[in-house]
């Protein structure tokens, strides 16, 4: 039986306010970091991260001698704070630009172990079939966290929808737009809320995991989609600094980059999630 605790964003709101709070609101007792002799507890976004981990748990971990426990989180904050305070041993949900920004702002000490996959960011709409059909003054929802907002604007820039100022980086905001020929308006939302906004806005830039959770197929439904070539946003297994030496972490890293996991990702997600190893 899977030891997976689903945790809602609402239940975690308090936990996101401070690094001192541990993950809470699980459907089963979350306990604390298990230590090198117990199960390896990994925090993950439900899709595709927890699905990939549960494939490892159900098909590969036992033969490899790994006791793996997966805890699902629906926000982008608590997995890192829980890893920092030892409530979990590792997490799997984020990319390097996001982690760099998170560590800098929160004083955390999370480090990557191994990159597993890429979830292409996409622009979606329930009102138009092509990006060129966006009307003047249309409203576009974008994630409101620093890195994902910058990433969203870079996607729009790469596809000629807007033009960013020279030198605009991962922390770009609408203030860094040099040219906006359609006079687009931007609605900044928590990343998890962007799919739910599609009925209220003209288009939304949605992270791959939240798109898949909302029954969107990035490879088919996105008006424009991020390129995988030279993409810095691969998602990785991460731990608190020092945890990368844990034999259980090393074993999980090997399993996550195995041929079996590559095939699982390719077969299950059909191009909406791409192996990065």
Co-location of 218 and 126 in the same domain? yes
Cα separation, 171 vs 245, in Å, equals 32
- pLDDT tens per residue across span 94-113: 999 999 999 999 999 999 99
Q: Are residues 237 and 203 in the same domain?
A: no
Q: Using CA atoms, how far apart are residues 172 and 156, in angstroms rounded to an integer?
A: 12
Residue 1 has pLDDT above 80, yes or no: no
Q: Which range of residues forms the domain containing residue 182? A: 122-225
Residues 30 and 104 in one domain: yes
Determine the pLDDT at residue 35: 54
Reported confidence tier of residue 188, pLDDT bands at 50, 70, 90 = very high
| pLDDT of 30 strictly over 50 | no
Q: Are residues 168 and 249 in the same domain?
A: no
Same-domain check for residues 166 and 184: yes
**What average pLDDT does the segment 113-138 reach?**
96
The mean pLDDT value for 184-193 works out to 97
Same domain, 92 and 128: no
**Residue-level pLDDT at 209:** 87
The model's pLDDT over 215-236, given as tens digits with 9 standing for 90+, comes to: 999 989 999 999 877 888 999 9
pLDDT of residue 220: 92
pLDDT of residue 228: 76
Enter the pTM of the model. Answer: 0.73
Q: What is the mean pLDDT of the chain?
A: 88
With a pLDDT cut of 70, the percent of the chain lying above it is 87
Cis amide leading into 48 (omega within 30): yes
136 with 180, same domain: the answer is: yes
pLDDT at 78 over 90: yes
Within a 10 A sphere around the Cβ of 170, how many other Cβ atoms? 18
For 257-268, the pLDDT digits (tens) are 999 999 999 999
Pull the structure tokens for residue 26.
């699980």
Last residue of one domain, picked from the residues 207, 225, 243: 225
Q: Are residues 144 and 169 located together in one domain of the fold? A: yes
Same domain, 271 and 141: no
What is the tens place of the pLDDT at every residue in 145-183?
Answer: 988 999 999 999 999 999 999 999 889 999 999 999 999
State the pLDDT confidence band at 31, using cuts at 50, 70 and 90.
Answer: very low
Which pLDDT does position 9 carry in this prediction?
37
Question: How many beta carbons lie within 10 A of that of residue 199, not counting itself?
Answer: 7
pLDDT band at 18 (very low <50, low <70, confident <90, very high): very low
CATH code assigned at 12: 3.40.190.10
Which of 31-35, 180-184, 207-211 has the least mean pLDDT?
31-35
- Please count the other Cβ atoms lying within 10 Å of the Cβ belonging to residue 194: 27
Torsion sign (Cα): 151, 252, 15, 214: positive
Number of domains in the chain: 2
Looking at the structure, do residues 165 and 29 belong to the same domain, yes or no?
A: no
Query: Are residues 9 and 143 both part of a single domain?
Result: no
8 Å CB contact between 225 and 120? yes
- Contact of 249 with 114, CB cutoff 8 Å: no
Q: What is the mean pLDDT of residues 201-221?
A: 93
Question: Which tokens in the block code for residue 239?
Answer: 């731990």
Please indicate, yes or no, whether residues 131 and 264 belong to a single structural domain of this protein.
Answer: no
């Amino acid at each position: 039986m899977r030891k997976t605790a689903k945790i809602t964003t609402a239940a975690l709101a308090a936990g996101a306010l401070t690094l001192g709070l541990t993950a809470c609101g699980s459907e089963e007792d979350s306990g604390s970091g298990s230590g090198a002799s117990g199960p390896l507890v990994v925090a993950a976004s439900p899709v595709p991260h927890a699905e990939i981990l549960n494939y490892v748990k159900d098909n590969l971990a036992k033969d490899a001698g790994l006791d793996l426990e997966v805890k699902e989180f629906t926000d982008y904050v608590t997995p890192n704070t829980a890893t920092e305070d030892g409530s979990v041993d590792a997490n799997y949900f984020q990319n390097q630009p996001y982690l760099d920004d998170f560590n800098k702002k929160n004083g955390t000490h999370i480090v990557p172990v191994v990159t597993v996959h890429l979830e292409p960011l996409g622009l979606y709409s329930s009102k138009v079939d092509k990006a060129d059909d966006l009307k003047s003054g249309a409203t576009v929802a974008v994630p409101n966290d620093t890195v994902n907002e910058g990433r969203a604007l870079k996607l729009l820039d790469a596809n000629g929808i807007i033009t960013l100022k020279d030198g605009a980086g991962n922390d770009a905001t609408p203030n860094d737009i040099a040219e906006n020929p359609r006079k687009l308006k931007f609605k900044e939302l928590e990343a998890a809320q962007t799919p739910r906004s599609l009925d209220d806005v003209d288009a939304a830039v949605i992270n791959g995991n939240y798109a898949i959770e909302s029954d969107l197929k990035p490879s088919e439904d996105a008006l424009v989609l991020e390129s995988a070539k030279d993409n810095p946003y691969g998602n990785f297994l991460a731990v608190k600094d020092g945890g990368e030496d844990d034999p259980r972490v090393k074993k999980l890293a090997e399993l996550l980059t195995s041929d079996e996991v590559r095939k699982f990702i390719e077969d299950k997600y059909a191009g909406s999630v791409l192996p990065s190893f």
